A and B are shown apart, each in its own frame.
Chain A
Amino acid sequence: MNDNLLRFNFGQKYLVLDTETEGLNLCHTRPWQIAWIEAVGKKIISRQERYIWWDDLKVSEEAARITGFNYEKYSSLAKSPKEILKEFLPLIKDKNTKIIGQNILGFDVYMINSWMKHAGLETDYSYVKNILDTKAIAMSIAKGVKTVDTNDLISWQYRWLNYREKGIKTSQAHLLKTYDIPHDPSKLHDALYDIEMTFQIFQKQIYDIEI
């Protein structure tokens, strides 16, 4: 048995994150909410959510319906994009932290980049190498894979993220059901609730695959 597996590493730092956004355009859509959890091993040590202020935010009707966007709440809580980045960027750039998210490689990394660009910062994807995407891991588990490519974890995850097979479901709702994790479906897409559920899924996944 490999003692380096995450399931045995109770001191491993995790940052679980999710963004809620005004649309789904990977280049120009901006996030209006970011939520994150900091955890060590299985223990959650901090839960945070921030609303990102954009003067001209255009949340599409569909996005507003799905994410429960409320302009009054948003406008009263939102802070400047730069101010939140100042707090958030050191967390994702911590080399000792594993960054967890559901479809984070296929979506949230683009939203963070859009946020940075709209705040006048340069693109910086240096943190991507520390990402563990629960959607990619879920696909590999569904295909019966028991080990990961430890030498090249990112490419391995992209391969599974790009893999398509009719009938295989890897959505968060499906994974919650599969792992029998109690949840409130009406709260899914609330960023903070989403990441708590994602972290629970991840904690199950690390016992299904040698990672």
Chain B
Amino acid sequence: MLAYNMIPIFKSTYSIGKSILTLDDPSKVKEGGSDSILSIAKEENLNQIVLVEDSMIGFLNAHTRCKEAGVQLIFGLRIGCVNQRTPEFLESNDTLHKIVLMGKNDAGIKALTKIYSIANKESKGLVDCNLLKQYWTYDLKLCIPFYDSFIYMNNFIGRKCVPNFGFTKPTIFIEDNDLPFDQFILEKASKYAQENNLHIEKVKSIYYKNKEDFSAWQTYKCLCNRTFGKERSLSNPNLEHCGSDTFCWESYKQYER
């Protein structure tokens, strides 16, 4: 059990362009090198880790490392969802939003792998609610992330996402990362949860260990977001709304204190 009432949700370098935290064995972590999620778990005596990745690629490594460290792994997949997996919807971003599928147990992970494989084989890595309904099992848990959810996308980006989650009761993740629009997303997410009688979970996305690692994380994001014609530097990273250095373990600990 975590001692805190906010759940830290880690991401590793397996989610490309998102996190600078590795899944390395703590004994192999060098001073001044990359921070490992397993090292944080060791230092902080965590007996479980919630890891939400953008693909299944890192799952085996995460599973092996957590097993070696005697830490329980709770694995989730953050995946794109569209209104329907038809060419029209798959080719446009108009209904694209993110959902998080958590595997509750081994059977849940198998179901996750199945859905992930089908999505990648048939529909550019994206799912729709019909596919989820078809393979849904009580071994899975559906969560709505704070950013990039249909709530965020419809209200702040102007997309037209119409997900039908009738096959389950999703959990709504809420966060507070000192961004100017957090208060407005929170209002909308809370309203949706209340209207649909859904459970709300307070979470913290963690992409680097300490606030001082923010520049390293931003540098990594600049490298991963390279585009023609846009020069990026730390003084002008060209990363929209990247205005908070609190996506880290240090902030999670400060908040709980």
Contact of A110 among B157, B188, B236, B243 (CB under 8 A): B243
Q: How far is the CA of A22 from the CA of B184 in the complex (A)?
A: 29
A26 touches B242 (CB 8 A): yes
Does B91 sit within 8 A of A, measured CB to CB?
no
Q: How far is the CA of A36 from the CA of B209 in the complex (A)?
A: 38
Does B180 sit within 8 A of A, measured CB to CB?
yes
A27 touches B244 (CB 8 A): yes
Q: What residue in chain A is nearest B239 (Cβ atoms)?
A: A26
A23 touching B155 in the complex, CB below 8 Å, given contacts A110-B180, A128-B183: no
Q: How far is the CA of A68 from the CA of B226 in the complex (A)?
A: 29
B158 touches A163 (CB 8 A): yes
Contact of B158 among A29, A114, A162 (CB under 8 A): A162
B155 touches A159 (CB 8 A): yes
B237 touches A159 (CB 8 A): no
Main secondary structure of the interface of B (DSSP, over half): loop
CB distance from B215 to the nearest CB of A (A): 8
B178 touches A113 (CB 8 A): yes
CB distance from A78 to the nearest CB of B (A): 20
Q: How far is the CA of A22 from the CA of B233 in the complex (A)?
A: 13
Contacts of B180 in A (CB 8 A): 105, 109-110, 113, 125, 128
- Interface residue tally on B, bucketed by range: 20 to 34
Does A41 sit within 8 A of B, measured CB to CB?
no
Contacts of A105 in B (CB 8 A): 180
Does A75 sit within 8 A of B, measured CB to CB?
no
Contacts of A25 in B (CB 8 A): 218, 234-237
Q: What residue in chain B is nearest A60 (Cβ atoms)?
A: B235
B241 touches A26 (CB 8 A): yes
Q: How many residues of A contact B (CB 8 A)?
A: 31
B157 touches A159 (CB 8 A): yes
Task: State which of A44-52, A89-97, A150-158 sits at the interface with chain B.
Answer: A150-158
Contacts of B234 in A (CB 8 A): 25
Main secondary structure of the interface of A (DSSP, over half): helix
A123 touches B240 (CB 8 A): no
Contact of A158 among B156, B237, B245 (CB under 8 A): B156
Contacts of A154 in B (CB 8 A): 181, 184
A106 touches B240 (CB 8 A): yes
Does B116 sit within 8 A of A, measured CB to CB?
no
Interface string of B172-187 (1 = CB under 8 A from A): 0000001111111000
Q: How far is the CA of A22 from the CA of B236 in the complex (A)?
A: 10
A155 touches B156 (CB 8 A): yes
A158 touching B178 in the complex, CB below 8 Å, given contacts A27-B242, A60-B235, A152-B155: no
CB distance from B235 to the nearest CB of A (A): 4
CB distance from A156 to the nearest CB of B (A): 9
Q: How far is the CA of A163 from the CA of B157 in the complex (A)?
A: 7
Does A24 sit within 8 A of B, measured CB to CB?
yes
Given A63-B235, A154-B181, list of 15 further CB < 8 A pairs?
A: A23-B235, A24-B235, A24-B236, A24-B238, A25-B234, A25-B237, A26-B239, A27-B244, A105-B180, A106-B240, A114-B243, A125-B179, A125-B183, A158-B155, A162-B156
Interface residues of B (CB under 8 A from A): 155-158, 178-184, 188, 214-215, 218, 234-245
5 residue pairs, one from A and one from B, having the closest CB atoms: A26-B243, A23-B235, A110-B243, A159-B158, A24-B236
